[in-house]
Amino acid sequence: MLRTHKCGELTTNHAGQAVTVCGWVDSYRDHGNLLFIDLRDRYGLIQVVFDPSENAEAHKLAQSLRSEDVIQATGKLKLRDPGLINPKIKSGEIEIRATDLAVLNKSKQPPFLPTSDNVPNEELRLKHRYLDLRRPALQSALIMRHKLCMAVREYFDKQDFIEVETPMLGKSTPEGARDYLVPSRVHPGEFYALPQSPQLYKQLLMVGGMDRYFQIARCFRDEDLRADRQPEFTQIDVEMSFVGQEDILSTIDGLVAHMVKNVRGVDYPLPLPRMTHAEAMERYGNDKPDIRFGMELTDIGSIVKDCGFGVFKSTLENGGRIRGINAKQAADKYSRKTIDELTAFVGEYGAKGLAFFRVKEGKLDSPIAKFFSDEHQAAIIQKMGGENGDLLFFVADQPKVTSAALAALRVRLGKELKLYDPMEVKVLWVLDFPLYGWNADENRWEAEHHPFCNPNKDDLHYFETDPGKIRAQSYDLVCNGYECASGSVRVHDPAVQQKIFDFIGLKMEDAEEKFGFLLNALRYGAPPHAGIALGLDRWVMLFLANDNIRDVIAFPKTQKASDLMTEAPSPVDAKQLRELHIKTDVPAELK
RNA sequence: GGGCUCGUAGCUCAAUUGGUUAGAGCGCCGGACUGUCGAUCCGGAGGUUGCGGGAUCGUGACCCGUCGAGCUCGCCA
């Protein structure tokens, strides 16, 4: 060991001891004779004092130290004199009087100082991620991530779950996200796919009798990125045999409380609240409502169906809806100009306009208020729960558009008006998702969750009449407006599975070729089973009240899925391609 | 694939909205200093304004393209 103690672990209790510490030069203060170094490691800071009367040579060497040099310092830990105590740092009452110094690694001038308040642009941070990782924010994020993983493992281990690793090199299957492919050398022209999730393997583990499985599993999806989405990410993957939906829900309730207890130290009230998908869509406009604040969607269609405002009337006549939200006491917080910005904002979600009214002296104040009689105005105000000073927004459009636009507007206003404590974490279940959605592009029904999800038994008759109405035995866990887990009761009857493949347009022989192993397994004594997967990165992000998933991943990728540090992806040698029997065919305009 | 934003010194930013030699703070280099703690003081170096075209008497600023980064719609079973 090159050190006897970590910088951050030294306390007044160590006073008088001879210590050797290693770390990075956080800052230096050279007084000509006396020289101070703040030495940093993962655990904290300690001041090291170099005095020529202790060791002239060490003092001389110390004069050459600069930020981010890595050194080893030896000396006696001393209590500082009362007047020299620095209350700003944890170790402010102690310091090391250095007797020896070794420079373990001199640092070039770093492109940015990891301890500076000026956080450099992300491009630079990603290029020098090893420097960025020295920043306390990233260190604490990774530490929390580790603690969360430990808590997860502890929770499941105590309940007889076993962690099983599943392959990274798997079979490409239709449905779902775009695969990352890996060429096979020994099978010319053939490819593995990296897992989008261990979905099929964990079901096969159930058939294999594992009974209770979990895995902290890496997943890969070759789709466009977002602030909360990376091409490779981590799931807390769970599957159980001989259980139904309630068992998964209560098991995960316990997991959430355990995670909160471990990272926040508080007891989270259980059971977690539940809401149907239909209710979420109606009250919040989306299937991942942020329930830290209200401002729910209200339908005023029945009130305004005979009003004088043409846009509202014609929307209703064309099967549309008129829904709105009430931004309490925000009438003075949004000017005409900022409302124009909001109008453009909802336009991104397809809304053709954004009607707004300020509630003023019991009436509506707006350029379009004149189209509404006093009775209409009073009814709208009452329905919206309006009070003087409120600002009402309405979107008149097809149901889907009103949902999407108002859901997004609600989230934006909630944030801008600071309607919630950003540190708060509020979790709920969303249940009864539709099993199938109509894919207009491909002119077929497709699975909303995945094709292994069991239909709700009460809805089977809709297969022939109205497949969009079939509810799935599926459930999402939603936290602060993010989808944080998703799961379902699986199909364990090969006939049902076959029927579903057939229904989503997968031909018998294709189903046999792509999913034959699963159909086969279901024919050899498959237990009823159900499961779920939690997005680990998102949970870490939420516990840190962060909105950027890259800040909770040690080595994340950019929006174009490249690694700015290693410069992956990159071309490979012609020899490698020949071995794999691969020829590239990149159009000239993409080179 | 679409929309929006950004790119100026090592870093964070400014540049009176198109007008003289592109500035500041931090960092860096040199010097002074025995109790600092984001030390202080004195001096200094440091710029192809991402790249390529264009418009203009004149551009860091305007236009077009391009590269990179971010946000977002589509996409993400």
Nearest-angstrom CA–CA distance, A531 and A243: 9
Give the residue extent of every domain in chain A.
Answer: 7-105, 138-276+427-574, 293-416
Nearest-angstrom CA–CA distance, A301 and A376: 11
Q: Which of A385, A226, A181, A362 is nearest to A297 (CA)?
A: A385
Write down the pLDDT at residue A552: 97
Concatenate the DSSP letters of all residues of A13-32 into one string. GGTT-EEEEEEEEEEEEE-S
Q: Which of A73, A135, A68 is nearest to A107 (CA)?
A: A68
Q: What is the pLDDT of residues A222-257, one digit of tens each?
A: 999 999 999 999 999 999 999 999 999 999 999 999
> In CATH, which superfamily holds the domain spanning A138-276+427-574?
Bira Bifunctional Protein; Domain 2 (3.30.930.10)
A325: CB partners within 8 A, 6+ apart: A295, A296, A297, A298, A392, A393, A406, A409, A410, A413
| Whole-number distance in Å between A81 CA and B61 C1' | 57
Q: Predicted confidence band at A442 (pLDDT cuts at 50, 70, 90)?
A: confident
A472: CB partners within 8 A, 6+ apart: A432, A433, A434, A435, A448, A449, A453, A454, A455, A456, A488
Domain A293-416 is found in CATH 3.30.1360.30: yes
DSSP A459: G
DSSP-based three-state secondary structure for A341: helix
DSSP-based three-state secondary structure for A325: strand
DSSP-based three-state secondary structure for A298: strand
A446 in contact with nucleic chain B (CB within 7 A): yes
Write down the pLDDT at residue A438: 85
Counting every residue, how long is chain A?
A: 591
ipTM: 0.93
DSSP-based three-state secondary structure for A494: helix
Q: What is the pLDDT of residues A335-362, one digit of tens each?
A: 888 898 899 999 999 999 999 999 999 9
HSE-up of A573 (CA within 13 Å, CB side)? 3
A118 in contact with nucleic chain B (CB within 7 A): yes
User: Stretch A298-318: mean pLDDT, rounded?
Assistant: 93
DSSP A33: S
Q: What is the pLDDT of residues A26-80, one digit of tens each?
A: 999 999 999 999 999 999 999 999 999 999 999 999 999 999 999 999 999 999 9
Scanning residues 480 through 539 of protein chain A, those with a beta carbon under 7 Å from any atom of strand B turn out to be none
A11 in contact with nucleic chain B (CB within 7 A): no
Q: What is the pLDDT of residues A551-585, one digit of tens each?
A: 999 999 999 999 999 999 999 999 999 999 999 88
| Whole-number distance in Å between A123 CA and B53 C1' | 27
| C1'-nearest nucleotide to the CA of A453 | B77
| Whole-number distance in Å between A115 CA and B5 C1' | 27
A228 in contact with nucleic chain B (CB within 7 A): yes
Do A316 and A376 meet the contact criterion of CB atoms below 8 Å apart?
A: no
Write down the pLDDT at residue A296: 97
| C1'-nearest nucleotide to the CA of A235 | B76
A404 in contact with nucleic chain B (CB within 7 A): yes
Do A426 and A291 meet the contact criterion of CB atoms below 8 Å apart?
A: yes
Do A485 and A428 meet the contact criterion of CB atoms below 8 Å apart?
A: no
Domain A7-105 is found in CATH 3.30.565.10: no
Q: For nucleotide B2, give the residue with the nearest CA to its C1'.
A: A348
User: Stretch A10-19: mean pLDDT, rounded?
Assistant: 95
Q: What is the pLDDT of residues A116-162, one digit of tens each?
A: 888 999 999 999 999 999 999 999 999 999 999 999 999 999 999 99
| C1'-nearest nucleotide to the CA of A31 | B33
Nearest-angstrom CA–CA distance, A158 and A161: 7
Q: What is the pLDDT of residues A174-193, one digit of tens each?
A: 888 999 999 999 999 999 99
Q: Which of A552, A550, A554 is nearest to A539 (CA)?
A: A552
